[in-house]
Amino acid sequence: MPDSINPAALPEKCLVVINAGSSSIKFSLFAGATCAALTGFVHGGIELIGSTPHFFADSINGQRLAGHRWQCATSHDDLLGYLIAWIKDTVGPDRLMAAGHRVAHGGFSCTGPQRITADVLAQLQAAIPLAPLHQPHNLTPIAALAAWHPDLPQVACFDTGFHAGNPRISRLYGLPAALTDEGIRRFGFHGLSYEYIAGELPRVDPRAAAGRTIVAHLGNGASLCALVNGTSVATTMGFSALDGLLMGTRCGALDPGVVLYLLQEKKMCAGAIEALLYQQSGLLGVSGISNDMRCLLSSNDPAAREAIDLFVYRAIREIGSLAAAAGGLDALVFTAGIGQHAPEIRARICAQSAWLGIRLDPVSNRAGGPCISMPDSPVTVWVIPTNEELMVARHTFSLTGARDQQ
């Protein structure tokens, strides 16, 4: 397997988009003469960080262009260094116009995408306590790219940004006002995914785009967003990315009394509770088998069935809640790993949401859509693949003036 690809085969100018997490670092290369024409032409990353990492870069057709395997665990910093060196050697400083980063939290002041300056970076670092498991990993590549190429324009796009305009009432907790003023309120996440779907809706379903739509982003992390006229009005994640739906390893909505009990009666420390709620709960914790929906769907173990039952039950409860917040429902959109690829889960969620006017077409649901509701269904139901990387690329293009350099 080659370590690199032939630079002569690349477009003259491109953008890199980086989505860095704790267990994987994903990247995509985009090119295009206008924001609307931006197209990804290489997608890759480093997976299985923490065990036996491997690097890959694939063409848009899925052809493997480059790859590398490490035989033993290697530090996150060393793996990121490998990726930056690969970008440096393969893309080079002259071809690379800008870098865009998916960043979990914009903090209290960054709502829309931001061109990175020392000031912005300081604000994003100050937001680390608001997203302690995601934000540090999201910010590391910004510093690494700046160390290699100090003049490279960089842009941060936030998962919280799309919900910043939610009505005040939907962002409040029933806590003393002084705490609300300090910033203890709902932020919401997965905003880049919802922004992408909101941008697709006018083409796919104009009635829904102008009306009330619930988007179900069901991946390893999972949440719902209610859109009215393309704008987020409510979402299931809150102050942290723990709230709302059952997820791969996160518990979703939990009575805060449980946390007090764990602290006071079980004498668990904050770190142990954090690990429990973020990494040991959800589908994994309930089933005791796996956080992976594919694995649970193929299991006959009653514990796997119960975890799936709870996943579906939590989803239908929250769909009812968001339909109330939106004042009704015109469309439901499924996206992300489970939403796009698990017809059984879609069917169960739709069957238990039939009271809202959802009538699923089982044949198109099995076929994967895009439209999976019956022609006479009052609520249209869609499967729309999300594309958070493209959203980051578009914002990066717009904010850096990359268009002027094409």
Q: Report the residue from 124, 145, 336, 402 that binds ligand ADP according to the rule CB under 6 A.
A: 336
Exposed/middle/buried for 386, CB within 10 Å: 0-12, 13-18, 19+?
buried
Query: Of 233, 159, 229, which Cα lies nearest the Cα of 189?
Result: 159
Report 181-220 residues binding ligand ADP (CB under 6 A).
219-220
Residue closer to ligand ADP (CB basis): 90 or 160? 160
Q: Which stretch binds ligand ADP (CB under 6 A): 128-136, 152-160, 232-240, 335-343?
A: 335-343
CB of 345 to ligand ADP, least distance (A): 7
CB of 396 to ligand ADP, least distance (A): 20
Residue facing ligand ADP at closest CB distance: 337
Residues 254-313, interacting with ligand ADP (CB under 6 A): 292-294, 297
Using the rule CB under 6 A, which residue among 32, 45, 191, 337 binds ligand ADP? Answer: 337
Q: Tell me, by CB under 6 A, how many residues bind ligand ADP.
A: 13
Q: Count CA atoms closer than 13 A to 282's CA, side-chain side.
A: 29
| Closer to ligand ADP by Cβ: residue 44 or 219 | 219
Binding window for ligand ADP (CB under 6 A); candidates: 36-44, 53-61, 164-172, 330-338: 330-338
Catalytic residue among 151, 159, 309, 404: 159
Whichever of 209 and 283 has its CB closer to ligand ADP, that residue is 283
Which of 54, 88, 341, 403 is the binder for ligand ADP (CB under 6 A)?
341
Piece of the chain touching ligand ADP by CB under 6 A; list 234-242, 261-269, 302-310, 332-340? 332-340
Q: What's the rounded Cα separation, in Å, for the pair 396 and 405? A: 13
Residue 41 corresponds to which amino acid? F
Query: Which residues between 36 and 55 bind ligand ADP (CB under 6 A)?
Result: none
| Beta carbon of residue 23, minimum distance to ligand ADP (angstroms, whole number) | 9
Angle at 383 between CA 378 and CA 389, to 5 degrees: 135
Which positions from 216 through 255 interact with ligand ADP, judged by CB under 6 A? 219-221, 248
**What's the maximum distance between 2 C-alpha atoms anywhere in the chain?**
64
Q: Which of 61-69, 98-106, 338-346, 348-356 is the region at the interface with ligand ADP (rule: CB under 6 A)?
A: 338-346
Radius of gyration of the chain (CA): 21
Q: Which is nearer to ligand ADP, 32 or 219 (CB)?
A: 219
Minimum CB separation of residue 353 from ligand ADP in Å reads 19
Please tell me whether residue 366 binds ligand ADP under the rule CB under 6 A.
no
Nearer to ligand ADP, 79 or 228 (CB): 79
Task: Pull the structure tokens for residue 271.
Answer: 């770190």
Using alpha carbons, select from 343, 384, 341, 340 the residue that is nearest to residue 360: 343
| Residue number with CB closer to ligand ADP (3 or 58) | 58
Q: Cβ–Cβ contacts within 10 Å for residue 16, how many?
A: 26
The encoded tokens of residue 194 equal: 């919802």
Beta strands, E only, 236-353? 331-335
Q: Report the residue from 15, 342, 371, 399 that binds ligand ADP according to the rule CB under 6 A.
A: 342
Clarify whether 77 is annotated catalytic: no
Helix residue ranges per DSSP H, 91-228: 92-95, 118-126, 135-148, 168-171, 177-182, 191-204, 206-209
Q: How far is the CB of 341 from ligand ADP (least distance, A)?
A: 3
Q: How far is the CB of 116 from ligand ADP (least distance, A)?
A: 24
Token duo for residue 393: 């690329």
| Cβ contacts of 50 within 8 Å, gap of 6 or more | 22, 23, 73
Amino acid at 216: A
How near is the Cβ of 335 to ligand ADP at its closest, in Å? 8
CB of 297: closest distance to ligand ADP in angstroms? 6
Q: Which is nearer to ligand ADP, 164 or 297 (by Cβ)?
A: 297
- Kind of pairing, strands 96-103 and 14-20? parallel
E strand map for 71-111: 96-103
Strand 212-218 with 96-103, pairing: unpaired
Going by the DSSP 8-state scheme, the letter that residue 56 receives in this structure is E
* DSSP conformation class of 171: H
Among residues 166 and 387, whose Cβ is nearest to ligand ADP?
A: 387
Which residues contact residue 55 at a Cβ distance below 8 angstroms, ignoring those fewer than 6 apart?
Answer: 44, 45, 46, 66, 67, 68, 69, 79, 82, 83, 86
For the annotated catalytic residues, the residue numbers are 159
Contact residues for ligand ADP, defined by CB under 6 A: 219-221, 248, 292-294, 297, 336-338, 341-342
